Amino acid sequence: MYPYIHIGRFSIGTFGILLWLAAVCGCWVLYRNFRRWRIDADAISIVAVSTVAGILGAKLWHVFETPHLLFSHPADLLFDRAGFAWYGGLIAAILALLWQARVYKLGSLRMLDLAAPAASVGYGVGRMGCLISGDGDYGKPTSLPWGMSFPNGLVPTTQHVHPTPIYELLGALFIAWILWRRGSPENPRPLGQITGEYLMLSGVARFLVEFIRINPRILWGLTNAQLASLGAIVFGLGLVLYARSRAAALRTETSTPVHTT
């Protein structure tokens, strides 16, 4: 593992490099989605703002996950290069997208639907930063032939463990593929449905992978990420049902004949 690349006196974190690559990949997917929907919007600026917001949100979520460390070592926790929580980043990025939807006059749900495949790709690529830096996001010990050790990682281990970032990359790319196909302009879905499906699918994926990760259990034998995943699944399901019912209501209104006297 290579947490840092050393160039003379300078050290560049590999997690940061992969985070940049994740933003580039997400930007390309969003740009392609804008192109196929014939939308005139700047994918680069949208992804840049959402990425910065996501990083800040992920850091703050992690900070408030461990309040005892915040009070005992505030500076170390706030400025540590490691320690980011996905759901904090997701919430902050969604808020940034909602704000930019108003700027580009796209509508909130439409912006989120367009960004869903890009978000999934970006998340998966970003997980490779966790793998390369060995920041402790790996899983439990395993005897499977693809188990990996991280002796030089930020959180080192000499045991062979589940390379959970790779699992998450594969899952995220598969989810992105599903969303891309279902979000085609040739067969448009009700506004908000793709976003709801993204929350459900990514929530299920994160919920399952947590069973083999090393995160502490905090309630009902579940990790903090699993509890947040359940919330994402429920919210996503509600959004899908809302999108479908709203579309059905609109179809009923437009198909109802108007009687004049």
DSSP string, 66-116: -HHHHHHSHHHHHH-S----HHHHHHHHHHHHHHHHHHTT--HHHHHHHHH
The residue ranking higher by pLDDT, 139 or 1, is 139
Band of pLDDT at residue 253, cut at 50, 70 and 90: confident
Please say if the pLDDT value at position 30 is more than 60: yes
Q: What are phi and psi of 7, to 5 degrees?
A: -125, 100
Check residue 77 and give its pLDDT. 46
**CA-closest candidate to residue 90, choices 148, 144, 50, 43:** 50
- Measured CA to CA, the distance from residue 105 to residue 103 in angstroms comes to 6
Q: What are phi and psi of 93, to 5 degrees?
A: -65, -40
User: Which range has the top average pLDDT, 5-14, 90-99, 149-158, 185-194?
Assistant: 185-194
Band of pLDDT at residue 236, cut at 50, 70 and 90: very high
Q: What are phi and psi of 16, to 5 degrees?
A: -65, -40
* Residue positions counted in the chain: 261
Q: How far is CA 33 from the centre of its chain?
A: 18
Check residue 256 and give its pLDDT. 61
Report, as an integer, the average pLDDT of 157-173: 94
Place of tokens 């463990």: 161
- Measured CA to CA, the distance from residue 55 to residue 70 in angstroms comes to 18
